[in-house]
Amino acid sequence: MNINLLFFGDVVGKSGRQALEANLPALKKQYDADFIIVNGENSAGGRGITPKIAISLLRAGAAVITLGDHAWDQREIVPYIDTEPRLLRPLNYQKGTPGQGSIILETDKGKVGVVLAQGRTFIQPPLDNPFTVMEEEVTKIREETKVILAEMHAETTSEKIAMGRFLDGKVSAVVGTHTHVQTADEQIFPGGTAFLCDAGMCGPDVSVLGRSVQPVVNRFVNGMPIAFPVAKGPVRLCGFAVSVDVETGQATLCSRINELVE
């Protein structure tokens, strides 16, 4: 028996959020999805997430919401995150940080584990070693289930690929986030772990990483500080679909999701 997992990359702003929520039922049906994970760390005006938005994404069909380096940009998320275990911040924050970095949830086809870590190369704040904490957490999760999706929220392709190779055979899938640009390297490693270096974003298509084009261009041209509003227009929904053998925890199929919606 296989279980089908859907992962959607960084949701950017109101338009990205509304587009994903509106299209999630059809995408769930299209991919016969049993379990949906959404990175929501840019869903509140392009920076962070609020309790209201988290609740909205969960009601729309997300089983788990992951965050990243913008986890704490909206102050009200700090007291909320301890009340909602399905909202994950990176695992490798120091002990005592609000929230948690992994979860195991029950489905009709068995348990699914989700674990999230943040890279350390060219990304702030510097956190604990993601490789050692990820290995330790995955070992614990495997005591309950072999169906595990690991997210690596990191800047460099090398660090994300290294994590994929490091976890090959230990998890069902490793998917990267953070750059907002989908990579074309979906594959299943020899140990049975599906991999995609970056899932991309769910955000405005005509943009610079989801932001309005001209302000970003102006910043590069003249170096002057300027606001980067979320762009308008059609939204591109990007993500990763993985089918996993429930008994072995190994991926049997994987494909990129990349759809333009009005």
The CATH number that applies at residue 192 is: 3.60.21.10
What is the C-alpha to C-alpha distance for residues 251 and 121, in angstroms, rounded to an integer?
Answer: 28
**For the whole model, what pTM was predicted?**
0.96
pLDDT for res 225: 87
Positions marked catalytic: 70
N residues, the chain? 262
Q: In this predicted model, what pLDDT tens digit does every residue of 65-120 receive, in sequence order? A: 999 999 999 999 999 999 999 999 999 999 999 999 999 999 999 999 999 999 99
**Cβ contact 119:179 at 8 Å:** no
Please classify residue 18 by burial: count the beta carbons closer than 10 Å to its beta carbon, then call 0-12 exposed, 13-18 middle and 19+ buried.
middle
What is the C-alpha to C-alpha distance for residues 51 and 142, in angstroms, rounded to an integer?
Answer: 30
pLDDT for res 262: 81
Residue by residue, DSSP assigns 234-255 as -EEEEEEEEEEETTT--EEEEE
Give percent of the chain with pLDDT exceeding 70.
100
Domain contains 262: no
Q: What is the mean pLDDT of residues 177-181?
A: 97
Domain contains 196: yes
Structure tokens at 16: 């990205």
pLDDT for res 252: 98
Q: What are phi and psi of 223, to 5 degrees?
A: 75, 5
Domain contains 170: yes
* Overall number of domains in the chain: 1
What is the C-alpha to C-alpha distance for residues 197 and 217, in angstroms, rounded to an integer?
Answer: 26
Domain contains 237: yes
pLDDT for res 58: 98
Does the pLDDT at position 125 exceed 90? no
Within the chain, how many helices (H) and strands (E) appear? Answer: 6, 14
Q: What is the mean pLDDT of residues 47-58?
A: 97
Domain that holds residue 167: 2-257
pLDDT for res 218: 93
Does the pLDDT at position 164 exceed 90? yes
Does the pLDDT at position 155 exceed 90? yes
**Cβ contact 148:134 at 8 Å:** no
Does the pLDDT at position 231 exceed 90? yes
Q: What angle do CA 59, 41, 133 make, to 5 degrees?
A: 105
Average pLDDT, the chain: 97
Q: In this predicted model, what pLDDT tens digit does every residue of 196-228 receive, in sequence order? A: 999 999 999 999 999 999 999 999 999 988 889
Beta bridge partners of 203: 236
Domain contains 159: yes
**Cβ contact 10:180 at 8 Å:** yes
**Cβ contact 45:74 at 8 Å:** no
Does the pLDDT at position 235 exceed 90? yes
pLDDT for res 250: 98
